[in-house]
Structure 1
């Protein structure tokens, strides 16, 4: 293979590494990780702990960790990714095209601007129009983003909400190619019946009772508070709630649940669980809920669907329009509307057999949202 694709990404991510591995089997690629030495950057601000993923994220493809000399290194702000040698290293690699994941860091934007007009610049991001901004940003944002995307030759969009975002900020239909957001469907769909039975037994949940699951960061954006509030107010004796994760709201959530003496024996908390444990947890639940105030996509929904689960999400979750079909495999409630959430929860938990049917449909819907399909589209489009 003598044709090369350079890929710019911040750090090894469990949803991207399998894509890179599959790509490397077909073309020559090199990943330029811009956050710096992976071993030094494993503290997750959202989970408020060091995260050691238990799946290999660096196997099967060529990569390098580009030196990052930012004073406050990380993906949480624009200047947290500052790599003076990035462009030189990419040029030395002599690629025929470059694919950049995200522009909102100093070095990524600089690379997009530099290579525009020199080699094809491809872009991958999942932003939507859902996020709210201040008035002055509302005036400035369109001009700025149109300028940013004027340096992109083609963008791979992850779903309909993401496509609408790209079109609003200057990219036309011919510059947009759908490449689905994906997870490892096969691994999540593997039968975990023994582990599922053990977990439900440990929690004291019978086969006819309903387990509602929230998994993710306990923060204001994910909005687990409203799910807890709805659960407590409904007070349904045959329904249990499991929170899996950690984060800034953890103490508040636990304190609130402890105050409710009639409910707290049906509310459970588990710390952050790694990738190999999550399929069993999803499969143990009956309904997965993501009540976010703002969510560009929500790959946890993909994971739950691959596990064959019914889905309830807010209308501010990016994947809702693509993956959640009301009254077919789940439902969508109005973000931050407690009454709407309560009504939809009540409708779901009243009929467990319907949850099973919805879950089977979820598994069918998510089948084509795969790494293999994403890679096939990338290869057909880039054609380096």
Structure 2
């Protein structure tokens, strides 16, 4: 029996499904060590400017321990999470450690401490898509090579992430593919019921059944470039046959509503919790993620949209673009920060029936990017370790 300690800040809806699948693999015992919190109470999200408590269970199906920071810590930073988690991990008897993100002192200390004692695995989704110049770039390279010098294996999530790890000192023999994935079944199951509910919702918004609906889902913040999407949409001809829905809250919301104040075909839906997301994605026919960054490392909303049977338009600054939007049978890639490039992509999405057929293809494609495959690849690496 191999024991794998996973270090993470808190329960996240994207990680928990593969934690559960890894925990039931033969010959493996898993314990997740949370360094910020391990509860399902509401926490303040500065981008949504509200307290968020996910309405799906995140603490069952796997073992975990909380190595808590001081009670006064309300938001996680590099310095304020628990500075030493090595003791609890040693007491548990880990045969290997998997760290999710180095950018907290406790995580980095664990990586350095266990290096040379037990295999140190790492998983992150950083890319090279956000450029830096001059001294900052040189200093970043030195620091990141130091960080990853203690990693035995990094689990890369896609092509852009693979390039990142290679740039910062890891060779191909240290890199194992573990795809960025969501719980596909949660979005693909009960498809007919979700489609029916989404159609009723569209009708309540005054959207005709034959209209093409472009959909944005997420935080209305600068890095996700929602204003670029609105401007590109406003250029489309025959706008009465097309609608745009923004689902979410954030700092850009007021300006977007002002710009769209006279547009009956632009709709705003407030933040929706996790249990509603399989219906939310079916509100649209095309899910758009026009992010310019910095920091759009992957874009798991793209996985969710595809698992819901929807095609996508993404910018070339979205980390998943090279992997998930490989050709136009899946979706379209536009140049970030370019209204014209996004407008051209949107013009190609003008017939709803064809879009829904393309969405069916997307649903089959994303099955290959699964939590089952992610967990299997990590499990195989652990079992093969000396």
1:151 aligns with 150
Deviations 1:94-149 (A, max 9, x none): 11000000001111111111110010000010000012335321121111111111
Contact persistence 1:241–1:268 (CA under 8 A): yes
User: Which secondary structure state, in structure 2, belongs to the residue aligned with residue 276 of structure 1?
Assistant: helix
Greater CA drift, 223-232 or 150-159: 223-232
User: Which secondary structure state, in structure 2, belongs to the residue aligned with residue 318 of structure 1?
Assistant: coil
1:216 aligns with 218
Contact persistence 1:70–1:79 (CA under 8 A): no
Contact persistence 1:70–1:80 (CA under 8 A): no
- TM-score, with structure 1 as normaliser: 0.94
Which whole-Å CA distance do the structure 1 matches of 2:19 and 2:247 have between them?
29
Which whole-Å CA distance do the structure 2 matches of 1:43 and 1:162 have between them?
29
1:367 aligns with 367
Which whole-Å CA distance do the structure 1 matches of 2:206 and 2:185 have between them?
29
1:25 aligns with 24
Contact persistence 1:30–1:63 (CA under 8 A): yes
Which whole-Å CA distance do the structure 2 matches of 1:138 and 1:253 have between them?
34
User: Which secondary structure state, in structure 1, belongs to the residue aligned with residue 223 of structure 2?
Assistant: coil
Q: Unmatched 5+ residue regions in structure 2?
A: none
Q: How does 1:97-176 map to 2 (within 5 A)?
A: 97-176=96-175
Deviations 1:182-202 (A, max 9, x none): 111112112113212211111
Which whole-Å CA distance do the structure 2 matches of 1:337 and 1:203 have between them?
29
Q: How does 1:68-83 map to 2 (within 5 A)?
A: 68-69=69-70, 73-75=74-76, 77-81=77-81, 83=82
Q: How does 1:1-384 map to 2 (within 5 A)?
A: 2-26=1-25, 27-36=28-37, 38=39, 42-69=43-70, 73-75=74-76, 77-81=77-81, 83-190=82-189, 191=191, 192-234=194-236, 236-258=239-261, 261=262, 263=263, 265-294=264-293, 295-349=296-350, 351-383=351-383
Distance apart, 1:16 and its partner CA:
0.7
* Distance change >3 Å, CA 159–CA 74, structure 1 → 2: same
Distance apart, 1:378 and its partner CA:
0.9
Contact persistence 2:119–2:152 (CA under 8 A): yes
Greater CA drift, 215-224 or 201-210: 201-210
User: Which secondary structure state, in structure 2, belongs to the residue aligned with residue 5 of structure 1?
Assistant: strand
User: Which secondary structure state, in structure 2, belongs to the residue aligned with residue 348 of structure 1?
Assistant: coil
Deviations 1:161-203 (A, max 9, x none): 1001001111111100111111111121121132122111111
User: Which secondary structure state, in structure 2, belongs to the residue aligned with residue 79 of structure 1?
Assistant: coil
Which whole-Å CA distance do the structure 2 matches of 1:373 and 1:291 have between them?
28
Count of paired positions:
376
Which whole-Å CA distance do the structure 1 matches of 2:38 and 2:332 have between them?
42
Distance apart, 1:43 and its partner CA:
1.4
Which whole-Å CA distance do the structure 2 matches of 1:367 and 1:158 have between them?
15
Deviations 1:72-98 (A, max 9, x none): 5534x42243x1341111111111000
User: Which secondary structure state, in structure 2, belongs to the residue aligned with residue 143 of structure 1?
Assistant: helix
User: Which secondary structure state, in structure 1, belongs to the residue aligned with residue 246 of structure 2?
Assistant: strand
Which whole-Å CA distance do the structure 2 matches of 1:80 and 1:165 have between them?
27
User: Which secondary structure state, in structure 1, belongs to the residue aligned with residue 116 of structure 2?
Assistant: coil
Contact persistence 2:40–2:58 (CA under 8 A): no
Greater CA drift, 52-61 or 203-212: 203-212
Contact persistence 2:83–2:105 (CA under 8 A): no
Q: Unmatched 5+ residue regions in structure 1?
A: none
User: Which secondary structure state, in structure 2, belongs to the residue aligned with residue 246 of structure 1?
Assistant: coil
Which whole-Å CA distance do the structure 2 matches of 1:70 and 1:150 have between them?
33
User: Which secondary structure state, in structure 1, belongs to the residue aligned with residue 222 of structure 2?
Assistant: coil
Greater CA drift, 226-235 or 16-25: 226-235
Distance apart, 1:70 and its partner CA:
9.1
Distance apart, 1:28 and its partner CA:
1.4
Which whole-Å CA distance do the structure 2 matches of 1:215 and 1:138 have between them?
32
